Structure 1
Amino acid sequence: MSQGVQFNRLMLEMRSMQMEAMARAKPEAVAEAAETPKFSDMLGQAIGKVHETQQAAGQMATAFEMGQGGVDLTEVMIASQKASISFQAATQVRNKLVQAYQDIMQMPV
């Protein structure tokens, strides 16, 4: 069988799966719209996750410094970098929110 025929068959299968998924997603989309979380809740959860990540990294670093077994330096460094990146992302989101607020406040009424 040629590659073109295999590709066409694969594309047809993907399209049929897409149609099935879309058919199933429509009733769920209505339910999701009714249960859409609030922005403040989502932001609070994100900040909570950043805090948890930082706490876990701090605990791992302390455990490594105290010489507890089972704590590897590479794991400590990875946890530290994850905490740093999550904090930087949260800071960028905050900066964008402040900028959006300032833009809205400067709009003429």
Structure 2
Amino acid sequence: MKTSGLGIDSSRIQAMMEQLKAHAAKPQASVPAIQTEQPAAKVQFSDALKDALDAVSASQSKAEALGKRFQMGDDSVSLSDVMVSMQKSSINFQATIQVRNKLVSAYHDIMNMQV
């Protein structure tokens, strides 16, 4: 497995890409069992990417909110909850950075192709 400087291997990037594909396929799964002749609505890549980025942002906001509640002395929030939430947020962000790096690399590869 190839490991980048941030410590995330390519299998995690592949797993995130699979999650993006699964997320993109969700609206198609909600089509009723009775099929009409109209094709299913296509999901735009930009919409799937925006939804994934929104999910990362939401996990970061949740981690920050839990951290603030813990700092303010909220007894319903434990330190372990805060740490787990922060780690999930960090992993989500790092995976997003790796996907971005792969997309930029693919863009450069395409731009450097000779026609």
Q: Does TM-score exceed 0.5, indicating one fold?
A: yes
1:48 maps to amino acid: D
The one of 43, 46, 51 equivalent to 2:57 is 51
Structure with a larger share of its residues in helix: 1
- In 2, the alpha carbon distance for the partners of 1:91 and 1:82 equals 14
- In 1, the alpha carbon distance for the partners of 2:55 and 2:77 equals 22
Q: Which residue of structure 2 lines up, in the alignment, with residue 7 of structure 1?
A: none
1:82 maps to amino acid: K
Higher relative contact order (CA 8 A, sep 6+): 2
Using the TM superposition, give the Cα deviation of residue 68 of structure 1 relative to its aligned residue in structure 2, in angstroms.
1.1
Using the TM superposition, give the Cα deviation of residue 59 of structure 1 relative to its aligned residue in structure 2, in angstroms.
0.4
Q: Which residue of structure 1 lines up, in the alignment, with residue 45 of structure 2?
A: 39
Structure 1: stretches of 5+ with no match in the other structure: 1-24
TM-score (normalizing by structure 2): 0.66
- In 1, the alpha carbon distance for the partners of 2:82 and 2:51 equals 24
User: CA RMSD, aligned part only?
Assistant: 1.9
Q: After TM superposition, which residue ranges in structure 1, 4 or more long, deviate above 3 angstroms? A: none
TM-score (normalizing by structure 1): 0.69
- In 1, the alpha carbon distance for the partners of 2:109 and 2:88 equals 31
Q: Which residue of structure 2 lines up, in the alignment, with residue 62 of structure 1?
A: 68
Using the TM superposition, give the Cα deviation of residue 106 of structure 1 relative to its aligned residue in structure 2, in angstroms.
0.2
Max radius of gyration: which structure? Answer: 1
Structure 2: stretches of 5+ with no match in the other structure: 1-32
- In 2, the alpha carbon distance for the partners of 1:42 and 1:101 equals 18
